[in-house]
Structure 1
Amino acid sequence: MNKAELIEALAAETGTTKAQAKQSVELLIDYIKNGLKKEGRFSLSGLGTFSVGQRAARTGRNPQTGEAIKIKASKTAKFKAAPDLKEAAAKFKAKKA
């Protein structure tokens, strides 16, 4: 499911318009972003926890030339799934195997 499909499903499930559903999804994304900016984490029960992670500086390679390049240290968003979400994913994998 992608964002557009989520908006469509949310609108159908709640009986709201797609515009209202889109606004709700965008608002949730904004709350997650703001939580990461202000507190470094955002936790949602049943879904999981978003947090800010640190990537160390490292040496990489330019794929076109093979030349070594320095990659700066950076911050990135990390996600740790809640137990319920992990369980749902495990059940999906069991069906596929």
Structure 2
Amino acid sequence: MAKSTKPAAKKSAVKAPPAKAASNKIAKTQIIDMVADKTSLNKKQAGEAVAAMLSSVVGALQGGQSVGLPGLGTLSVTQTAARTGVRPGTSQKITIPAGKKIRFKVASTLKGTL
């Protein structure tokens, strides 16, 4: 038997990343695929439609409007009052300034089917 002239490859000590656990979250690309499957749009057009819809929702919320999504629920912007809180670890009292939050109210039709 002839010996190989190539040096033996060293085994890498780097471990492969752990396999990702199944997630319950649906990514934007998956939504685009679903829209493309359910319509006559190709993936590029479906991506543009999803992006336009999300942009419209964000724009309306930034303008202080509520957004109703039939069968899903309503997104709205609510004001929060300034309040006193406690800093974790130090128990120091801090003032949390007033701000805005996005509120989501689930549609009764969806709530009944969950």
TM-score normalised by the chain length of structure 2 = 0.64
Counterpart selection for 1:7 from 32, 56, 66? 32
* TM superposition shift of 1:61: 2.4
Higher relative contact order (CA 8 A, sep 6+): 1
Distance 1:64 1:5, change over 3 A: farther
Counterpart selection for 2:57 from 32, 38, 42? 32
* TM superposition shift of 1:67: 2.0
Correspondences of 1:48-67 after superposition (within 5 Å): 48-67=73-92
TM-score normalised by the chain length of structure 1 = 0.73
Q: Which amino acid aligns with 1:4?
A: T
- Give the RMSD, CA atoms, in angstroms: 1.9
* TM superposition shift of 1:15: 4.2
The structure where helix makes up a greater share of residues is 1
Q: Which residue of 2 aligns with 1:18?
A: 43
Q: Deviations over 1:35-80 (max 9, x none)?
A: 2233521112222211111112112222243322111011111111
Q: Which aligned segments of 4 or more residues in structure 1 are displaced greater than 6 angstroms?
A: none
Q: Contact 2:60–2:66 at 8 Å: present in 1 too?
A: yes
Q: Which amino acid aligns with 1:8?
A: D
Q: How many residues align?
A: 89
How many percent of aligned residue pairs carry the same amino acid?
37
